[in-house]
Amino acid sequence: MTDPIDVLRSHVQSVALLERPHTDPADLVAAITGAGAPDIANRSTGADRSNVVALRCSISTAGGWFQKLECELATAESHFPHIGNAISA
């Protein structure tokens, strides 16, 4: 059998290649720095680095937390129905 470390490395790096953030980098920069994001710029001036921006980022994505968890559960259950049933139980 192939060295488990090599198997793990190959798999994890393959998975990582499929992962893409849902936020465009330019939008992320604008949301955090306030530059180019009208809704945030109205609340903060220029390059304000206050925690308000962090809080706003958290709030804007927090709604997706449970939905994402449900999606992951659904995906896992499709691969392992018996385990999925155990989780549901």
Partner 1 sequence: MTSRHADQVGGGAHARFTALVHEHQRGLFAHVRVLYPHADADTVVNETFTAAWQRIDDIATDGAATWLRATARNIVQNSRRGERRWQALNDKVARLAPVALSPSPDHDAGIELQIVMDALASLSVSDREVLLMTALDDLSSEDLGEILGVRANAAKVRVSRARARLRAAVADRTEPPDQGGTR
Lookup result for tokens 């449970």: 66
When asked if residue 35 is in the footprint of partner 1 (CB under 8 A), the reply is: yes
When asked if residue 41 is in the footprint of partner 1 (CB under 8 A), the reply is: no
Tell me the closest approach of the beta carbon of residue 8 to partner 1, in angstroms: 5
Cβ-based neighbours of 29, under 8 Å, separated by 6 or more: 35, 36
Measured CA to CA, the distance from residue 53 to residue 31 in angstroms comes to 7
Lookup result for tokens 């139980």: 89
Residues that bind partner 1 (CB under 8 A): 1-5, 7-9, 11-23, 25, 28-29, 31-33, 35, 47, 49, 53-54, 57-58, 61-62, 64-65, 68-69, 72-73, 75-76, 78-80, 83, 87
